[in-house]
Amino acid sequence: MTDPLNNSLRFTPLPLQSVTLDDRFWRPRLEVNRTATLPFLYEQLERVGAIDALDLRPRPLRVPCHPGSAVTPQMWWDSDIAKWIETAAYALATHPDAALEAQVDALVEKIAAAQQPDGYFNTFFTAIESQNRLTNERDWHELYNAGHLIEAAVAYTQATGKTAFLDVMERYIRFLMGVYGPHPGQKHGYPGHEEIELALVKLSRLTGKREYLEFARYFVDERGRQPYFFDEEARARGEEPSSELLSHGDALPYEYMQAHKPMREQDKVVGHAVRAMYLYSAMADLAAELGDESLRQACERLWADLTSRRLYVTGGLGPSAHNEGMTTNYDLPNDTAYAETCAAVGLVFWAQRMLNLTGDGQYTDLMERALYNNVLSGVAQDGRRFFYDNPLESHGDKHRWEWHSCPCCPPNVSRLLASLGGYVYGRTADGIAVHLYAGGSARFEVEGQPVTFYQRTEYPWEGKVELEFDLERPARFTLSLRLPRWCRDPKLSVNGEAVDLSDARDGHVHLTREWSAQDRVELNLPMPVERVYVHPNVRQDAGLVALQRGPVVYCVEEADVDVPLHQLALPRGADLTATFEPELLGGVSVVRGEAEVEEPGDWGGTLYRTAPPRQITTSLCAVPYALWDQREPGEMRVWLREEVREAPR
């Protein structure tokens, strides 16, 4: 393979093989992901018939799924298998496993056998609706599937060096490059569900072939141009374009799939949340690879819109189940919040790319928030139960399930966790950057000399991070450390000597010096329990308060209190303390304090009265939001009523 194309990334992720995570927080989660979730996902794909579909013999059976649904052959099954292969590839990169590798090779053989003579590959449209292939990209996910297959092929080649899967996908892409493009006889189009764009950038980086990068740019540039491709596509099928199909509720026509106007003109995050995150990730990649300032500026505008008007405190996005996405400014309902797990995973992808492009720690801060809260909420600690949507309030009727008729989220969160080592560090032109604080090690080179970098920490439960190097001889380079915005008073020392942080920039402190094996760096990030308030335009949270500590957002569950949660009121001045409880939920820091509740009293069978209820004190215990619904069923709330007493006159 050739070197990656020329790019302007400020940070470049370290290869997975160079990173080890072995702390108390991440090691058990990653082990469960590798040893429990990965085989469980394969079993489910077998059970519903997705694996058999690779033989172009889809089962006509209806397989029970989560309550109220069943599974029939689906046009997105190829993407689910691809995400499983991608997860397996990341696992193989860090934990070689001959049996798992053979399992992937068997799937690759099936994929190669199912590829059509012209290069086309899609099991659904080959076996079930061959007459309809590439006739409805608005709704039918062929290019979306292709994108996930490309990502899987790239990851598997990087993990094993094998190129059979990559060869299949390159052949498929060459076929698609003949179908879509700006020339006469080609379709001037783009996918309804974005994904292939970011995958093509990965493929270009791996192979060094610029044509893949240009194909990704074509899809991004063509999007939103008139005449609208999906209108032309519908007429070619003998249909009249339908605004109803394009709108999906609150979104205007074409907003649902971010195709209402050219991408460089967009400044508002609209439509389906997952599609948006994948598209913006590709835009950031292209901005880096091509030095495209207009794409970068578009990404920054969209980021500002998301973070100032449309984002949940948990890092979730997309409040509406109707369109799996965005509605209006400041519309952030709690009990009906959709906040799809895949959308938060996509936000992590986009945030990392914006960090790599700009070097600005604000993107890592949000990447961390989404990761520790909305993403981890999407999978239970046993690795076998999942949330598709992630509400911030439950009346005891919301629980994880083992599978879904559209099972995009389980393998998506699994592939992110399997690749987590690629998000922790970044290489710079003159050193190494620490983006996420997690116990473990990283290996890199400075002027040809191997260096091993160690982190020791109990993060996110504690904010103390100890850092040191293992290298044969002193070497000069820059160590860049993120200073999270949630931390008000960070402290840093090198070999016991305090470091002045007043000149920190872009959310980082940059330490340039000659480093030796004797050097010790200590970073302290104080983690007081903090109250969080939302913009007054968010009507659903008026008069409410949320709790966070460090990057972790907390919730209250019925299991920990003896009154209905809507009755709890947290006094503004109440003391709140955090304690680590090793026997609870595998070991977590909980927040404890006192709250007030209205005394039920004797209402004498009446529903209303003029006398105000008396307030009594009760104990409050809050647990990390990501771990809710893992004990007895019951209510849950992130946002609590706040009691504000008038100051004495």
Identify the pLDDT of residue 406. 84
φ/ψ region of 221 (left if φ > 0, alpha if ψ in -120 to 50, else beta) reads: alpha
Based on the residue annotation, tell me whether 409 is a catalytic residue of this protein: no
CATH ID of 12-426, from 2.60.40.10, 1.50.10.10, 3.50.50.60, 3.40.50.300: 1.50.10.10
Q: Which residues contact 80 (CB under 8 A, 6 or more apart)?
A: 45, 50, 407, 408, 411
Residue 171 has pLDDT above 50, yes or no: yes
User: φ and ψ at 241, to 5 degrees?
Assistant: -55, 140
Based on the residue annotation, tell me whether 646 is a catalytic residue of this protein: no
Residue 60 has pLDDT above 70, yes or no: no
Q: Write down the mean pLDDT value for the chain.
A: 93
* pLDDT tens sequence across 515-524: 999 999 999 9
Q: What is the mean predicted confidence (pLDDT) over 9-21?
A: 93
Q: Are strands 19-21 and 529-532 parallel, antiparallel or unpaired?
A: unpaired
What distance in Å separates the CA atoms of residue 559 and residue 562, rounded to the nearest whole number?
8
Burial of 5 (0-12, 13-18, 19+ CB in 10 A): middle
Q: Which residues contact 74 (CB under 8 A, 6 or more apart)?
A: 50, 124, 405, 406
Identify the pLDDT of residue 647. 42
Longest dimension (CA), the chain: 85
Identify the pLDDT of residue 73. 73
Q: Which of 3-12, 173-182, 187-196, 385-394 has the lowest mean pLDDT?
A: 3-12
What radius of gyration, in Å, describes the C-alpha atoms of the chain? 25
φ/ψ region of 228 (left if φ > 0, alpha if ψ in -120 to 50, else beta) reads: beta
What amino acid occupies position 514? E
Identify the pLDDT of residue 562. 87
Q: What is the mean predicted confidence (pLDDT) over 74-84?
A: 93
DSSP H helical ranges for 382-471: 409-418, 421-424
φ/ψ region of 442 (left if φ > 0, alpha if ψ in -120 to 50, else beta) reads: beta
What distance in Å separates the CA atoms of residue 271 and residue 192, rounded to the nearest whole number?
12
- The class that CATH gives domain 429-524 is mainly beta
Q: Which residues pair with 465 in a beta bridge?
A: 457, 523
Higher local confidence (pLDDT), 645 or 110: 110
Identify the pLDDT of residue 253. 72
Angle at 453 between CA 450 and CA 457, to 5 degrees: 170
Q: Quick one: pLDDT band at residue 70, thresholds 50, 70, 90?
A: low
Beta strands in 240-355 (DSSP E): none
Of 435, 434, 436, give the one whose Cα is nearest residue 453. 434
Highest mean pLDDT range out of 209-218, 591-600, 637-646?
A: 209-218
* pLDDT tens sequence across 380-389: 999 999 999 9
In eight-state DSSP terms, residue 34 is: I
Q: Quick one: pLDDT band at residue 1, thresholds 50, 70, 90?
A: very low
Residue 417 has pLDDT above 80, yes or no: yes
Of 154, 58, 53, give the one whose Cα is nearest residue 110. 53
- Indicate if the alpha-carbon torsion angle 41, 44, 46, 51 is positive or negative: negative
CB atoms near residue 607 (< 10 Å): 5
* pLDDT tens sequence across 174-189: 999 999 999 999 999 9
Identify the pLDDT of residue 614. 86
Q: What is the mean predicted confidence (pLDDT) over 120-131?
A: 93
The domains of the chain are located at 12-426, 429-524, 529-643
Q: Are strands 497-498 and 491-494 parallel, antiparallel or unpaired?
A: antiparallel
Of 257, 268, 126, 116, give the one whose Cα is nearest residue 195. 257
Task: Quote the tokens at residue 106.
Answer: 């068997």
Give me the catalytic one of 324, 393, 557, 596. 324
What distance in Å separates the CA atoms of residue 280 and residue 296, rounded to the nearest whole number?
10
